[in-house]
Chain A
Amino acid sequence: MADPTKEESTAAQETAAAQDPTAQQNAQVLALLHSLFGEATFTDVHEPYGLLTVTTKREHIHRIVAGLQQDETLKFHFLTTMCGINYPENLNQELGMIYHLHSLVHNIRVRIKIFFPLADPVVPTLTDLYAAANWMEREAYDFYGIIFTGHPNLRRILNVEDMDYHPMRRQYPVEDGTREDKTDLFFGR
């Protein structure tokens, strides 16, 4: 902290943050999250393009989303989207789920991520909180094989029902293996 330029720039950032309404809102949401669930629950807090993004553990996800939904001041009543993701290089954190919540009353958004191992792709369902979670969880199950415990009807939604794998997992090729007209040595596969 002896470096005066650094102190200055931090101060400048703080002033800028104080003037920026998005940063103020994000600080408010983050303060709420910390007060409700504790600071240790959240890691990797950042704000790309002004969207507050936090990472947490899957044990906490249901009560965090429930807490945000039931919060009287912020009222995160809308589950914008939720989707799966697969990073095969992150050992024991290969699969993830990303939740976007939106407060329609105050126009505040928040993004929550959880990561968990490929061998144990089990996540609690949000269908008891948001009806919209039903089809989105079916989609995540369809493409990533994430099992949502408590989901009322967890079956494939977009792909053919007799498909025997989860195609968006990175261990499978995106291409159809039976394609015949692309065997060209130089221009095809």
Chain B
Amino acid sequence: MVDTRVPEIKSVPAPEGIEGAGFFATSLEKVVGIARANSLWPLPFATSCCGIEFMATMGAHYDISRFGSERPSFSPRQADLLMVMGTIAKKMAPIVKQVYEQMAEPRWVLAMGACACSGGIFDSYSVLQGIDRIIPVDVYIPGCPPRPEQVLDGLMRVQDLAKNESIRRRNSPEYQALLASYNIK
């Protein structure tokens, strides 16, 4: 028996709006938010074992591209999401910051694993005790290392941010004050 059923194709549900014969009206902000959330281009900044888990997340079994992150961007200029995965040594910190500064708005940051979140087991003179000391972080994924399901969950939290934030977040005084507190222009 050959299975001839056509799989159900799920698409992103339409946002709230006014619908009538031949038209659908909603705010641009919602449409842009949906578009951003479902095509986040991640920049994997993988330094250690969390990067290996991310490779599993990218692979066919867990498949991060199901969530619109089809294309890992290895150029910060074309990336929306900086995924910092692994221990960041103090010597590496200026490089992480430079990569973040090179990204264009809108940009989000995801800290994956105990090391990126807080330094993890490396309570040491040479290791940065969490990347939020140098750049603002939107989503933290705990674990050592986190499972791919957790990474996908973290990505979905970033999607929630992208959907629900103002598309002009970069102009808000809170956001500018946050960047100023990190000494980022």
Q: Hey, which chain B residues are within 8 Å of A173, CB to CB?
A: 125
Q: How many residues of B contact A (CB 8 A)?
A: 10
Contacts across chains A and B counted by CB atoms under 8 Å: 32
Q: Hey, which chain A residues are within 8 Å of B124, CB to CB?
A: 174-176
C-beta contact mask, A149-189 vs B, less than 8 Å → 1, else 0? 00000000011100000010000111110111110000000
Q: If A160-B90, A160-B91 touch, does A176 touch B118 (CB 8 Å cutoff)?
A: no
Say yes or no for B127: interface residue by CB 8 A criterion: yes
Say yes or no for B126: interface residue by CB 8 A criterion: yes
Interchain nearest-CB distance for A134 vs B (Å): 19
Contact partner, A167, options B91, B118, B126, B129, Cβ 8 Å: B126
The docked-state distance in angstroms from the alpha carbon of A175 to that of B126 is 9
The docked-state distance in angstroms from the alpha carbon of A175 to that of B127 is 9
Chain A's interface size range is 10 to 19
Contact between A159 and B126 (Cβ–Cβ < 8 Å)?
Answer: yes
Classify the interface of chain A: helix, strand, loop or mixed: loop
Contact partner, B125, options A167, A180, A181, A182, Cβ 8 Å: A167
Binding site for B on A (CB under 8 A): 158-160, 167, 172-176, 178-182
Q: List 26 A-B contacts (CB under 8 A).
A: A158-B126, A159-B90, A159-B91, A159-B126, A160-B90, A160-B91, A167-B126, A173-B125, A174-B124, A174-B125, A175-B123, A175-B124, A176-B119, A176-B123, A176-B124, A176-B125, A176-B129, A178-B129, A179-B118, A179-B119, A179-B123, A179-B129, A180-B118, A180-B129, A181-B118, A182-B123
